[in-house]
Every structure is written in C-alpha cells, then in structure tokens.
Amino acid sequence: MKGSMKPVKKKKTEEPELEPLCCCEYIDRNGEKNHVAACLCDCQDLDEGCDRWITCKSLQPETCERIMDTISDRLRIPWLRGAKKVNISIIPPLVLLPVFLHVASWHFLLGVVVLTSLPVLALWYYYLTHRRKEQTLFFLSLGLFSLGYMYYVFLQEVVPRGRVGPVQLAVLTCGLFLILLALYRAKRNPGYLNPASSDRSLSSSQLEFLNRKGQEKTKGFPGTDTSGSLNNRTAKDDPKGSSRMLAGSPTKAKEDWCAKCQLVRPARAWHCRICGICVRRMDHHCVWINSCVGESNHQAFILALLIFLLTSVYGITLTLDTICRDRSVFTALFYCPGVYANYSSALSFTCVWYSVIITAGMAYIFLIQLINISYNVTEREVQQALRQKTGRRLLCGLIVDTGQYNRAHL
C-alpha cells in the first residue's frame, strides 16, 4: 500500500517592495522613476524640434505629438507620496485670459480685435479637440476662471466706486455660488449604463452573435445606417424592459447592441466616443463641464445655464450703471464716452463686453435646449435626423422636428 504523497508547497516569489516616492518624484509613462527637476533633461524629440526650428526646417506632426505627450507627462507639481500630474489644457486660460483683457483695455480698437479673436480661437480649439475625439479641461478651466476673474475685477474696480450696495453684492455673490453648485451637480453621473445590468437577460450565444456582428461592422450593422437607427427602438426608456424584449431576438437586438460597452442600449441611449461609455438618454457631450449631458444631469445642466444667465445679466447691469452713469444699460453698452480715459473704467468695460459675448453664447445654448425639450428630442437625435435628412427644419432652422418622440413630454 503506497503512502499518500504530500503536495509540495511552492514558495511564493516575493516581489520587491517599491521604495516610497518623495514629493518631487514620480513614475513616468515608461514606468521609470523620474524627478521634477529633470523635466527638461533627456528629451530627444524636443532637441530635434529645437534644431529644426533654429534651422527653419519643417517639423513632422508625429514629432509635435510626441513632444506634447512628453511635456504633459513631465508637467507635475510636488505632492505627498509623489508628484501629481497637471493637465496641460487648464493652463492657457489662466495665463492668456488676463493678458488679453488687459491688452484690450488699452484702446478701443485693441478691444475690438481681442474680443473678436477670443471666440474664434475658442471655436478653433473646440474643432481641433472634437475632431480628435479627446477630452480636454480647457473649456472647463476657461469657464471657471472667467467666473472667478470677472468677480475679482468687480470687487477691485466696481465696488470701491460706491454705487454697489451690500445687498446687491450679496445677491451677486449668492448667484456665483449657486452657479458653482449647479455645475457640480451637472458634472456628476449623467446616467452611465452598467454593462452587468443590461447583459443579465441575454444568453451567451446571443452575446457571442452580437459581438461577432459588432466586430464585422463597428460603425453600423447590416441593414442599418452608420449612426444607428432609432426607428426600431422602444418608446419607453426602461433598460430592463428593453433588454427583456430584445433578448428573444438577437437579430433585432443587434441594432441596439454596443460592442464597445458590451451591452444592449435602451431607447434613446447612445455611446459617447469622447467619454468612452454609453449614456442613458444622451443629449450631447458638453465641453464646458467636460462630461456628457444625459438623463441624470440634464435638469442640473439647464438650471446651471439659467442661473448663469440671470447672474451674468445682473452683474453686467451693476457694472454699466457704475461706470456709465445716467445712461440706460443698452445705451451704455454701445456708447459710454470717456470710458477709456481711466484704466479702471476701461478694464471694467472690457470685462463687460467679454461677459456679454459669453452670455450671448450661453443664451443660444439655453434657447436650443428649451426648444428641444418642448419637442421632446435630444441634441444627438436632432443631429442624426439632419444627417439622415429625416427631420423637418422650422423657424429658420432653430427647430428640428424628428417626428419620433414629439407625442409626449419630458
């Protein structure tokens, strides 16, 4: 009778413990330990770019991308247990906005040039990032810093003139805090879909079929258009109900199947290519909050726009009433003699016009949102209907009737 063989226990290989990082050290994108003081050392792409710039030679786009990746990886601030990475897109508004506004306050013509070029630059950067389908904190940084800087100029240049009372200042301050609170709520979860809850009712064979179809044609499935059809979706926005209905027919479910998130999308949900996840009743991806606007944060987004418009108009009125006395707000906005004689008044007047430009843009977004809500459509559905030429333009293109969900209310 053979004795029982005792299993031989394998010794676990002890992994070497990593040394704790000091406040100026960090692990770079290559997995190596680096130091903040060496941010300008050992960068062949940057050296090559400088050499080509000095010799007036063209620089390859790939080299520029590598240089920007290196700069964004090495731009860090000392922090406990390792230096923290700083997103490079938040820096330009902090530096350029005060410089541009101060330059614009030197002369009327400079103000016209600067205030005209700022929206053009912002639209160009938006087009650049939107085409590359990447997230950016530039617009969120620009919005928050604009709020803070306008409030700072108001306290430094307008309040000391004595025309603004304590109650008016308190109302404006409360409006600013309400804007920040509404933005915080709007930036929260817009209604991300959980893959586990949507895939629970589908069998493994159905999932395999949908995955195979998604790999064959990622932009669209056979028999549907590239942007995804909404005609066969259910009118109820219930993820569980739609999953149960679609589970019996893989051919029907493939129209709402997201191969990237591995789930069946409920009605009116969509996959955001910038956030990389499906959002329930997605309206659009808003660069001003660096997040999607969906079912869970749409009301907070509308509330943030409304509070911002009211607070901005109130602050513009107080400022114009202070620097251009005995004139109506509309008249003072276009005709305020002697405003450039004093640098303080010129800076306040320039900030007023900057606020007017931003307020006009936000008022347009707010108007479009109200129109879409009244017709019970989302911005993504509007854009899809325009691409497919299935929507009707009304009121000079402000209203687009998709004819799908306008029989009910939000």
- Taking alpha carbons only, the member of 45, 44, 28 closest to residue 36 is 28
The pLDDT assigned to 6 comes to: 52
* Mode of pairing for the β-strands spanning 263-264 and 257-258: antiparallel
The pLDDT assigned to 129 comes to: 79
Mean per-residue pLDDT of the chain:
77
Mean pLDDT score, 279-293: 90
Confidence of residue 149 (pLDDT cuts 50, 70, 90): very high
Summarize pLDDT for 296-326 with one digit per residue, the tens: 999 999 999 999 999 999 999 999 999 988 8
Mean pLDDT score, 68-93: 79
CA distance 302 to 307: 9
Which has the higher per-residue pLDDT, 372 or 351?
Answer: 351
Mean pLDDT score, 357-377: 90
> Given a cut of 60, is residue 27 above it in pLDDT?
yes
CA distance 346 to 241: 60
**H or E element that contains 145:** helix 138-153
For the question of residue 286 being annotated catalytic, the response is yes
Residue spans of beta strands (DSSP E) within 48-122: 76-77, 84-85
Which has the higher per-residue pLDDT, 64 or 11?
Answer: 64
CB 228 within 8 A of CB 220: yes
Residue % of the chain over a pLDDT of 70: 74
Q: Which residues contact 146 (CB under 8 A, 6 or more apart)?
A: 93, 97, 354, 358
With vertex at residue 140, the alpha carbon angle to CA 72 and CA 357, rounded to the nearest 5 degrees, is 125
- Taking alpha carbons only, the member of 103, 101, 104, 83 closest to residue 93 is 101
Confidence of residue 231 (pLDDT cuts 50, 70, 90): very low
Which is the catalytic residue, given 286, 292, 324, 351?
286
Instruction: Provide φ and ψ at 400, rounded to 5°.
Output: -125, 110
CB 311 within 8 A of CB 193: no
Confidence of residue 367 (pLDDT cuts 50, 70, 90): very high
Structure tokens at 164: 């603004």
Angle between helices 91-104 and 343-374 in degrees, nearest 10? 120
